[in-house]
Structure 1
Amino acid sequence: MHVWIPNIFEFKGGIQVYSRFFLEALHSFKFVTGRIILKHDRRIPTSALIHFNSFQFHCLGQWPLFLRTLVFSAQLLWVALIDRPKLIITTHLNFTPLAYYLKYFFKIPYWTIAHGVDAWDIQDSRLRQSLSNAELILSVGQYTRHRLLREQTLQPEQVKLLPNTFNAQAFQISSKPSLLLDRYQIEYQKAIILTVARLDSTERYKGYDQIIKALPQIKAEVPDVHYILVGKGNDKSRIEKLIHDLNLEACVTLTGFIPDEELCDHYNLCDVFAMPSKGEGFGIVYLEALACGKPTLGGNQDGGIDALCQGELGALVDPDNIDEIAHTLIQILQGSYPHPLMYQPQALRQKVIEVYGFQAFQDKLLGLLQTTDLVN
């Protein structure tokens, strides 16, 4: 097998996290060997080379950016012609046109993975052609799968679900950490709303603006409310101005960058996790919050629907409706939202692990691979 990946080790985003879990699952199957070709990583950590010892890695990130796509493509072609792999898997749709040419000329089958916005409203004719000729498209959620089937020329059996997963062991239920309460100078009794997101001007769809705009209404009913927004990015100054204009400085904390080892503590700091997004392919942060037993709110117009199991695991709201966001968060904080599971932390944790834990991901991928020649 050959697996083509944008990057894993030097940048953390949704595609990178998914690709790492995908690679971890492949490594657990003893019948899988092959090459991993990474476009943007410059090197592989020694620990990863030792751990993933059934794969040979190729990194192209050391090449200048203006040459990298050309060199990456040449590398993919060269090793494919040497190995003639039984299967190529691309973890980003943009790599599929080259996979299509390899299939067309050398009969090498390929799969690809659709994460979200990358798969929505595709107009490029080469990309549309390469998708229609893929043996399989793995969609991280039902929302993206439905959009692909509606917008592209694909057969239903051509698009299968392989939802996101997460590291359940890294996210556990605990009490509010006094260290963070002290750091942010917040009293224990405060009702805390939390969002974890990149504060990038291209990712305003995540809905942190909407929560800030809803805070005056929430504060009128829950005076001790405090909003913590975790993340960094170039949108920070605009958010600060919005907070200032609404006179909310005393009840909003922008934490900036938080290392991974502190994420669990931040989830446990809150009383509700909220990200009313409308452009999210899935949203692993929802799973992490649920694993910490937290009531969770998402948007009803994107992949958050999948992460919250169509509302079974949390509240889904119109991300454009400030009044609805405010009303729902007030209900959750006051314990009156009509969803008993929200207030059962251990049951929430058990359910999200059952549906989206790594074992479920691994089992699903194994079932898909068993339909190929790799297991023969």
Structure 2
Amino acid sequence: MFEFKGGIQVYSSFFLEALQNINRPIKYDVFLKHDTHVSDKQAFDKNTNFHFSGTWPLKVRTATFVSQILSSGILQNPDLIISTHLNFTIAADYLKRLRGIPYWTIAHGIEAWNIQSPARQKALHNADKILCVSNYTRNRLIQEQHLDPKKLSLLPNTFDSNRFKISSKPSYLLERYKLQPEQPIILTVNRLVSQESYRGYDKILEVLPQIRQVIPNIHYIIAGKGDDRSRLEKSIAQHQLQDCVTLAGFVPDSELCDHYNLCDVFAMPSKLEGFGIVFLEALACGKPVLAGNQDGATDALYQGKLGALVNPDDTKEITKTLVKILQHTYPLPLMYQSEKLRKKVIEIYGFEQFKACLNQSIGDFLNFI
């Protein structure tokens, strides 16, 4: 749907699709900051109108985006405003004070933690409902911002189960990366952004020499692009890992499922992950997953019932756990039952569950007004 795809954009797309499945005549006005159009591959409800700010220069785009929201709110006086990013709760708060319009917002991850802006803090307190993607984010907001727990509800991430499916290792990727079908492969999918190195790929690089002592032909693929690549290349050279690490660069959507199916374990021992849609995508491909135990990834792996949770700062634990997973000795049988693993993650986090959860909240609101 959106031209620019990060975790929040993907979530917002699913959120809108779920809203449009509500069996009530509702008019939607959707405001997109960086987009210029929506994909013609997706059908939208005839009562949905899109407003784009992406054609404006960056230096005035935010102001244009906010002015569109404010002017439409004043003129149309909607029944409810929903902001899928906390930054724009400030505009919603202004409209509530001016016109009495209730608003909800969605809290994802790092943007919701350690909020210092008085305006954003006030907007959070004035929100009628805050939907949180994980218990971790919800608990941090309650603790840090002293919010009323009753106004914070859970609406975890979801994924496209029709897109991410189990298959054999793709031969074209084995050929591209010069790998053998039986070769054990660790995969991380993430933006390589210097400010986001908390995602954990550094830790995998750090423990790879120890893993190689046990599994000599191990190979690690990091998929993603960003300004952190040059630093990673230096780290790989420093650890003499050039022959067992591949920086795959940007992976198009059309190849993402194939990359999950290429690996034997998806690993991202992050420290500040709000949830992590990539975990769900890998699980839907029937792959064992390793994640950190100190952030929203604990929700994604269902408190360790869907995968391995480790201390992201404990290199010995990461090493030991990855070796166990790759040697099929990790004490979670579901991890090696790909079809059952896929079925379980769909049951817990599939779109039908996401839709039902959102519809319950929206239904309560519609019955109230």
TM value normalised by structure 1: 0.95
Cα distance, 1:302 vs structure 2: 1.0
Q: Which residue of 1 aligns with 2:37?
A: 43
Q: Deviations over 1:55-74 (max 9, x none)?
A: 11111111222222222222
Q: Deviations over 1:235-255 (max 9, x none)?
A: 111111111111111111111
Secondary structure, counterpart of 2:20 in structure 1: helix
Instruction: Pick from 184, 196, 202 the counterpart of residue 189 of structure 2.
Output: 196
Distance in 1 (alpha carbons) for counterparts of 2:44 and 2:323? 47
Q: Which residue of 2 aligns with 1:4?
A: none
Listed as ranges, the matches of 1:127-276 within 5 Å are 127-276=120-269
| Matched-pair identity in % | 56
Secondary structure, counterpart of 1:249 in structure 2: coil
Cα distance, 1:173 vs structure 2: 0.9
Q: Which residue of 2 aligns with 1:326?
A: 319
Say if 2:347 is the partner of 1:351. Answer: no
Return 60-69 or 191-200, whichever deviates more.
60-69
Distance in 2 (alpha carbons) for counterparts of 1:29 and 1:370? 8
Secondary structure, counterpart of 1:51 in structure 2: coil
Contact 1:176/1:270, CA 8 A, preserved across alignment:
yes
Given the superposition, is the C-alpha separation of residues 175 and 263 from structure 1 closer, same or farther in structure 2, using an over 3 Å criterion? same
Q: Give 1:211's aligned amino acid.
A: I
The alignment of Structure 1 onto Structure 2 pairs a total of residues equal to 368
Q: Which residue of 1 aligns with 2:51?
A: 58
Say if 2:292 is the partner of 1:299. Answer: yes
Secondary structure, counterpart of 2:243 in structure 1: helix
Contact 2:131/2:153, CA 8 A, preserved across alignment:
yes
Cα distance, 1:47 vs structure 2: 4.5
Say if 2:103 is the partner of 1:116. Answer: no
Q: Which runs of 5+ in 1 are unaligned?
A: 1-7
Secondary structure, counterpart of 2:11 in structure 1: helix
Q: Deviations over 1:5-35 (max 9, x none)?
A: xxx6221100000000001111112423221
Q: Which residue of 1 aligns with 2:60?
A: 67
Distance in 2 (alpha carbons) for counterparts of 1:250 and 1:65? 41
Q: Deviations over 1:309-341 (max 9, x none)?
A: 111100011111111111110011111111111
Contact 1:86/1:374, CA 8 A, preserved across alignment:
no
Q: Deviations over 1:137-182 (max 9, x none)?
A: 0001111001011111311110000000000111111111111111
Q: Which runs of 5+ in 2 are unaligned?
A: none
Say if 2:328 is the partner of 1:335. Answer: yes
Contact 1:271/1:333, CA 8 A, preserved across alignment:
yes
Q: Which residue of 2 aligns with 1:33?
A: 27
Secondary structure, counterpart of 2:330 in structure 1: coil
Task: Name the Cα RMSD after superposition.
Answer: 1.4
Secondary structure, counterpart of 1:370 in structure 2: helix
Q: Deviations over 1:93-140 (max 9, x none)?
A: 011111111111211000000000011111211111111111100001
Contact 2:4/2:34, CA 8 A, preserved across alignment:
no
Q: Which residue of 2 aligns with 1:82?
A: 75
Distance in 1 (alpha carbons) for counterparts of 2:41 and 2:225? 28
Contact 1:113/1:139, CA 8 A, preserved across alignment:
yes
Q: Give 2:273's aligned amino acid.
A: E
Q: Give 2:50's aligned amino acid.
A: F
Distance in 2 (alpha carbons) for counterparts of 1:169 and 1:359? 12
Distance in 1 (alpha carbons) for counterparts of 2:40 and 2:46? 11
Distance in 2 (alpha carbons) for counterparts of 1:293 and 1:269? 11
Cα distance, 1:224 vs structure 2: 1.7
Q: Give 1:54's aligned amino acid.
A: N
Secondary structure, counterpart of 2:236 in structure 1: helix
Contact 1:369/1:375, CA 8 A, preserved across alignment:
no
Q: Which residue of 1 aligns with 2:15?
A: 22
Q: Give 1:350's aligned amino acid.
A: K
Secondary structure, counterpart of 1:330 in structure 2: helix
Distance in 2 (alpha carbons) for counterparts of 1:274 and 1:47? 32
Contact 2:3/2:38, CA 8 A, preserved across alignment:
no
